[in-house]
Amino acid sequence: MNFWQRLPKPIMALAPMADVTDAAFRRLMAKYSAHERADGSVGGPDVMWTEFVAADGLVRATPEGKEKLMADLIYSEEERPIVAQLFTSDPEHMEYAAKLCRELGFNGIDINMGCPDRSIEKQGCGSAMIKTPEVAKEIIKAAKRGAGDMPVSVKTRVGYGEDILEEWLPAILKESPAAVTIHARTRKEMSKVPAKWERVKRAVEIRNELKSDTLILGNGDVLSLQDAADKVAMSGADGAMIGRALFGNPWFFHPTKRLPVRLTALPTKGVNRDTIHVADTSEEGVEYISIEERLRVMVEHSKLFAELLPFKNFSVMKKHYKAYVNSFPNAAELRAELMEQNSPDEVEAVVERFIESHRAILEG
């Protein structure tokens, strides 16, 4: 029995996101979302994914380049179960990379068949693989050969230019992946339209019609744990994968800890983050996270990033600052100053000054 089959349902999973779900982010998520799960284990999300990693790079890269790629595959025991996400259109490279991830001790392998990034698509990978189902099937087979007894899953979309779920999903299910995560939009739609969770429901129906044992997770437009539970209940899926709602909120998966604001929409490019949150401290039995604690965890995040990922440009952290710093007095002022900083020490100094000079507001 693989780890997927042992997970209590509904499964709540952390989505793979480039330059977001790195080792520093996941470690914080494991720490601050830690709670006793339904099966008695202690942890944050039920499953974590790494950022996607190029299998081609793991095969072809120079020693220095491979060292940088391997940094995307570091993890801590607290993050288990953890899945390494890979992409390639070359079966031999997939087999090699899956074997490497097995040797590194991952709990599972996931194949990215949904990323809309043009540079990934040009390689025949990500969402471009929806257009080549025979190649996709060979990639799954290769991943299984390399993974051995480790489960292989797939993350994909309902289609590329058009919704072809009824043709695409059965092709994947023929290879019996342990799980398939369905992003409920086409590649063409990106995030410009609401996620169609009724298509996740249809995916579950297709799975059942084919008498497949593959788990189905839905993905798209999840705002909160309760929203995830509602979407899972509506669709009949085995779980939900959460992405953008996690930004700036390492407490997301904790059942009784919450930010004092809730999302009314997901953060997208060009949207003022201060306008998509509303104050909400209405629920009894919930510990609401103070602004000061949020800022200090942001500093901790910055230090972890610099410590664990020295190959990465520190500017990656700035997207996180936009997520942590909103919906409180003078947030815009603090955000602007943080955008000018280039090290965790500089960030910490700015935050400490802000806390001291705004203590009356923060404690009020």
Give all strands (DSSP E) within 270-346, no chain letters.
277-279, 287-288
Burial annotation 190-216 (CB, 10 A radius, 16+ → b, else e)? ebeeebbbebbbbbbebbeeeebebbb
Distance (Å, whole) CA 50 – CA 22: 6
Distance (Å, whole) CA 327 – CA 337: 16
N- to C-terminal Cα separation, the chain: 52
Q: Which of 115, 200, 216, 217 is catalytic?
A: 115
In terms of Cα–Cα distance, which of 305, 336, 357 is closest to 25? 305
The DSSP element (H or E) to which 132 belongs, if any, is none
85: which strand partners? 52, 110
In terms of Cα–Cα distance, which of 199, 220, 6 is closest to 108? 6
Q: 107: which DSSP letter?
A: S
Element counts in the chain: helices (H) and strands (E): 15, 14
**101 catalytically annotated:** no
| Residues classed as catalytic | 115
